[in-house]
Amino acid sequence: MKPTVLVCTVIVGALAILHGAEPPPASLTASNKLLAAISAGDYAAFVADGDAAFQSLKREQFESVAAQLGPRFKSGYDVTYLGDMHQKGYEVTLWRLRFADGGDDFLATLSLKAGKVGGYWIK
């Protein structure tokens, strides 16, 4: 096999694997719940599946984020799973949030451990 053909085959194979990557089911479920809670401004739903530290998030902090992002979520959005990694015992998944309003995209990171949300950041 010629080197050029081999390189192209490897690249196409790698892209196929990346394109077909599926998020871990628990992370997908948690991500969907958290995004729905932000969209609805529902603090109780947002912290419900969190560990003790996550549940200590102050309502005012959540309401500030929900007030900023809620309208963008309600206008429509798309979530794309980007990948996962392991950090300090947590399964961390990365998500791209793209909004129908055409504004800036965001990167969300979700940290799960033992089925509990340990962190959720939108940057």
Q: Could you report the per-residue pLDDT of 80-104, keeping only the tens digit for each?
A: 999 999 999 999 999 999 999 999 9
What number of H helices and E strands is found in the chain? 5, 4
Q: How far apart are CA 60 and CA 91, in angstroms?
A: 27
Residue found under tokens 């200590």: 56
The rounded distance, in Å, linking the Cα atoms of 48 and 33 is: 10
pLDDT for res 82: 97
Tokens of 36: 């729905």
Domain 25-122 has CATH 3.10.450.590: yes
Decide if pLDDT at 72 tops 60: yes
Q: Assign residue 89 a region (left: φ > 0; alpha: ψ between -120 and 50; beta: otherwise).
A: left
What is the model's pTM? 0.81
Cα–chain center distance at 13: 25
Cβ neighbours of residue 92 closer than 8 Å, sequence gap 6 or more = 84, 85, 86, 109, 110, 111, 112
Position of tokens 């694997």? Answer: 17
Residue, of 12 and 121, whose pLDDT is higher: 121
Cα end-to-end distance, the chain, whole Å: 45
Range 58-61, long-range pairs (CB < 8 A, 24+ positions)? none
pLDDT at 45 over 90: yes
